[in-house]
Structure 1
């Protein structure tokens, strides 16, 4: 833990040392230094490697769905009958060999839509889908779309009508309403092969759960994980700091592309579901991410193996704007819960994260565990400040580019302790508006010696 030294004094001290060292150098040493490549303090050159996972879409999903097309007529206006109507159409068309179901203009409230094999749901841009909360008791969690929860599914897709358009005006809309104790997943993938999900612009209201989830099916069989899929062209806003756009508990050979999240973590490869941690067996491998963006959130990308030795990830084109970090690399750890394996997991050391662009500023969602990286003055302000609507984060300043507690550079050296290395490529800072000057934030960057601050007992905040 570093003792607290005021920022201005640290900058002054560094300048004095730099000037002094240069003044003491000989003429030959100065000539040699001048011949060296000038290092841009806003750019970390990183490591390049030819051992990368490829991102061509045909490797992840091939359209095998029949071209037969039907247009379903739903009631709209949040009729609770629409879920039953859509499920019936899906079952009928799947039994007949499959095809495309089109959903036309309207606002529809849906829940527990069971996608079946060889079905493609195409949704027009003037469609808004919300969760059907009819009869849902407080605390119950619901899924709007379910793919492979109780039975195996293959060759499926949910997309906007112009399914490969990157123009967000062509995407369909989603809305998660505000409310107490709402747990909503827009779509959950389980035992499914060859799938695609794309073209969604969703407004959340700090609900708990990521809106796109890849998890084990109800069988909890680690061999029944999602494989061969594409999730792309997604924008979501108003996300809870503890969740985000995608939560990946399981999945192999999955491509994530053009994901943009405001709040939370945009792409979270975190294998924390209890069933995935009962045996040390890979449930995540060959995961490719391209163009992953975070705005005013926690991070664009997070990887955390929990208690299992997982496979490879390859992430490129990370953009972070006014978020806590751009990337978070977490060490494995042992859970206090019973029935889980007593070990600490890692990711494959060939994993790669590169081409990271990070802009610092205010409005990041700061978790309490990250207060330790703020100086005493800023930390006091965070403690006394009102929290965000998610009630788990506080608006504050960006800390740095990459938070890493799995690396030997931060004192984590033993794989048995959940330590591992990944290849990190180029990092570019667009400004210097960060709490910490370093590109990498390790546990050793924490600042100690700050006086204890207690919130007023009446619960008031600034």
Structure 2
């Protein structure tokens, strides 16, 4: 990967020189300048904000295409029925919906529409040729009645125990990008382990879109692509679209989407507050038993992070994975915009002895990052703060997820997989990806560099003693 080592002084010097040059080149009297021309100049000046810091990245013509037709084709019959549910979080509704899905699927498939109300679902099983259309005035929550303490739960299962094809969960006004038309979901605090809104296993040709979800810093990402119960790497999600989603209150270790496996999947218009919005991280033990690609042809567009860890994270975990192509990444007051992690083996026994990489043709570009306070900072990133700020972070009270600390944005891209950061060779989990343009909207970052490598860590700070009574600031 080509790296351009700019510092703020050089960037501002260029900006000041440019401003002086254009000022001297302008019409000194301005008598022959029309009012409409002045308006155009003012608009152009606003569009070229000199506060922006721009790093021109690499360009490449070898890209993965993002046309939705390549990922999902609607093959579900248009016959529509209304879901036969009780509402008001009736504990019978999970079984009622699962049974109706089975009946409609056995009859050739169709649309099941969920109308206005509050519904609690757990372990609802989707089947082939079913489209759940959910009205905007619907709220969905997990059914916790009688659920064993500490046990993980899934609200919807797709392809867990058998093959599923042609399946969709969307808002009723499908493909409408206005969040006011999306259905609602809520993950409350509760005596359970982790919760996933939907988990995909052995499924082909699927779609999920049009949801606004409020979390309570629960464990697990809410949309998960994983191996099915067979743990067969050949039985994975293929050809899918996940788009038009906003989630708030996410745990730093999780986020909107976690992709353990899947091929030819498009992620589009995802917005997450907290955590990592799109995490392509293949750390599940079942995916690490053989060095066979479980992630490939992954495309992301318009991926946004707010007050979280990052918008996009890639981490191969023991397996030499395929290609990702991510564009239009936005990060606002998060720790980083993008995290590129080197492969590593970890301490789980009985798995392959290979650190893992991603295909070098992978691309991440058009990154816009705004720094500030409110990021979810993990302890492993404290090393990038100066000694005074680090001490304050160590003594500061944690966020509600109890795994991160409210803090300051560090930089645009954290990369420990590249040679520029001292990583050498695929045997050490090192790899390069193509990185395109990066724009910083301000200078409110802990470090001035666009790329944050392990070599950016600040050493020599004195040890900080945490109060024995566990008190914090």
TM-score when normalising by structure 1: 0.91
Tell me how large the CA RMSD over aligned residues is: 1.6
Q: Which residue of 2 aligns with 1:445?
A: 456
CA distance in structure 2 between the partners assigned to 1:389 and 1:180 by the alignment: 16
Aligned to 1:424: 435
Equivalent position of 1:91 in the other structure: 102
Alignment of 1:154-303 (within 5 A): 154-303=165-314
Q: 1:128 aligns with which of 139, 164, 169?
A: 139
Counterpart secondary structure, 2:461 = coil
- Distance in 1, matches of 2:456 and 2:372, equals 19
Residue of structure 2 equivalent to 1:118 = 129
* 2:356 is aligned with 1:345: yes
Moved over 6 A (4+): none
Equivalence for 2:18: none
Shift of 1:182: 3.6
The answer on 1:79 being equivalent to 2:120 is no
* C-alpha deviation, 1:335, in angstroms: 2.1
Q: How many Å separate the matches in 1 of 2:191 and 2:413? A: 33
Q: Does 1:392 align with 2:392?
A: no
How far apart are 1:72 and its partner, in Å?
1.4
Matching residue of 1:33: none
Establish whether residue 359 from structure 1 lines up as the match of residue 377 from structure 2.
no
Could you tell me which of 429, 433, 447 is aligned with 2:444?
433
Number of residues of Structure 1 aligned to a counterpart in Structure 2: 431
Instruction: Return the match for 2:414 from 403, 408, 429.
Output: 403
Deviation at 1:181, TM superposition (A): 4.8
Give the alignment of 1:307-386 within 5 angstroms: 307-386=318-397
Q: C-alpha distance in 2, partners of 1:138/1:382?
A: 33
- Residues 257 and 278, structure 2, Cα contact 8 Å, conserved in 1: yes
CA distance in 1, matches of 2:138, 2:371: 35
Structure 1 residue aligned with 2:116: 105
Secondary structure (helix, strand or coil) at the match of 1:381 reads helix
Q: How big is each residue's C-alpha offset from its partner over 1:13-66, in whole Å with a ceiling of 9 and x where there is no partner? A: x79xx9xxxxxxxxxxxxxxxxxxxx9971111011110000000000000000
**What is the CA–CA distance in structure 1 between the aligned matches of 2:103 and 2:84, rounded to whole Å?**
15
Partner Cα separation in structure 1 for residue 59 and residue 353 of structure 2? 35
Please give the per-residue CA displacement for 1:342-386, whole angstroms capped at 9, x wherever unaligned. Answer: 111000000000000000000000000000000001001100000
Gap change, CA 1:207 and 1:40, over 3 Å in 2: closer
Consecutive unaligned residues in structure 2, runs of 5 or more: 1-6, 14-49
Which runs of structure 2 are paired with 1:135-146 in the superposition (5 Å)? 135-146=146-157
Greater shift, 67-76 or 372-381, is seen at 67-76
Distance 2:325 2:446 in 1: 28
Is there any run of 5+ residues in structure 1 with no aligned partner, and where?
Answer: 1-9, 19-38
Does residue 1:413 correspond to 2:424, yes or no?
yes
Q: How far off is 1:180 after superposition?
A: 4.7
Q: Deviations over 1:207-233 (max 9, x none)?
A: 000000000000000000000000000
